Amino acid sequence: MSTLRIVSDSGKPFGGRIEAGRLLAEQLQEYRGQKAVVLGIPRGGVIIAQQIANELEADLDIVLSHKLGAPGNPELAIGAICEDGKLFIDERTSSYVGADKNYIRQEKAQQLKEIARRVALYRKVLAKLSLKERIVIVTDDGVATGATMQAALWAVRQEKPQKIIAALPVGPQDSLERLSEDADETICLQAPPYFAALSQFYSLFTQVEDGELLHILAAESKRRSKE
């Protein structure tokens, strides 16, 4: 049975992603030392994931799935394409919005191009971990509609983990409720009643560049090699 835990309805901004990640890690202490895998959604989510992984003595990785958007409404997820090319389709939603097989095929091909670019860039630095029978924590720097996180959860589920936890610093209540249906446990630090943009909840919300992300991945690769 899935659970949703919202710590606060405060809208007080976090100082930055590092602070948000550390505060989120405090709420996940039960998973310390359990060989969990923390997956960050590039790029901002990887900063959050790094803090959680450090605090929980967990493995760090990224999730490179992409959502398949609905016809005329790309923010509405009808499915997800995984890093290895596996496709997951939410049959109920795709049928409702009229996404036929031809549309899905075209959308899949388009999203695979971007995944291939990211795989070529990131996976030469950090190899993908198997998620089978692992406790998996999926995180980002927050959600608005939640479509990208939803696609990540769908993709992770295909790998048959032991448990999926969606962990977020901030998001609107309705989006969190939808996401909780696709995770075994969902935790969010803040679900403020007024939500305009994710950036309003960070005092420092700069763009995370590929160079910074690659540096984090290289450090994790080095750590793994010492084990």
CATH number of the domain enclosing 189: 3.40.50.2020
Q: How many domains does the chain have?
A: 2
Q: What is the pTM of this model?
A: 0.92
Quick: pLDDT tens for 27-80: 999 999 999 999 999 989 999 999 999 999 999 999 998 888 999 988 888 988
**Dist CA 4 CA 183 (whole Å):** 9
β-pairing verdict for 185-190 and 66-70: unpaired
Residues 89 and 199 in one domain: no
Quick: pLDDT tens for 122-133: 999 999 999 999
CATH number of the domain enclosing 100: 3.30.1310.20
Mean of the per-residue pLDDT values of the chain: 93
Neighbours of 212 (CB within 10 A): 14
Which string of b and e fits 156-165 if b means at least 16 CB within 10 Å? bbebebeebb
Neighbours of 124 (CB within 10 A): 11
Give every strand in the sheet of 66-70, ordered side by side.
66-70, 73-81, 87-89
What pLDDT is recorded for position 147? Answer: 85
Quick: pLDDT tens for 82-98: 888 888 888 888 999 99
What pLDDT is recorded for position 82? Answer: 84
Residues 72 and 53 in one domain: no
**Dist CA 57 CA 163 (whole Å):** 17
Domain of residue 112, residue span: 67-121
Residue 133: DSSP 8-state: T
The backbone torsions φ and ψ at residue 205, rounded to the nearest 5 degrees and listed phi first, read -140, 65
Strand partners of residue 62: 40
